[in-house]
Amino acid sequence: MKTILYIIAFTLSSFTFAQNTEGVTVTIEIENLLNNDGKVSAALYNEATFMKAAPIDAVEAKPENKTITLTFTNVQPGTYGVITLHDINENGRMDFEASGMPKEPYGVSGEGVSFGPPAWGDAKFEVGADDISLKINM
């Protein structure tokens, strides 16, 4: 009898504690790239890591027809920001002019970039329970 009670209790607890830990998909679409050279990357940040530390996740791919679609999977609900880079010469980093201006195109989620480095307040967006798609201009 104890065995049956344990089995029932275990079965009920597994339903109670079994939650879907899979997050959503965040798709980044970028059109009108300068060319198909190099790679385009996207880095996903939260407020604590934005422009300060390594991203939570990063993806990259070669563009085709001057467009690219990059996908982050299993993103948990929360507030995030994305920074994209078209690394034309594939050296794995953003190149700068002597004046400090970027040589390669980049973009930011949210309201985008005005002048100066990207700001969290402009880049942030909310991830909820549904997959989302963002268009980023470079």
102-129 tens-digit pLDDT = 999 999 998 766 677 889 999 999 999 9
The residue with greater pLDDT, 24 or 4, is 24
Cα–Cα distance for residue pair 25/88, rounded to 1 Å:
26
Query: b vs e for 73-106, b when ≥16 Cβ sit within 10 Å of the residue's Cβ?
Result: eebeeeebbbbbbbbbeeeeeeeeeeeeeeebbb
pLDDT band at 14 (very low <50, low <70, confident <90, very high): very low
pLDDT confidence of residue 92: 94
In the chain the domains, ranked by start, together with CATH numbers, are 22-135 (2.60.40)
92: left (phi over 0), alpha (psi -120 to 50) or beta: left
pLDDT confidence of residue 24: 97
Cα–Cα distance for residue pair 82/8, rounded to 1 Å:
46
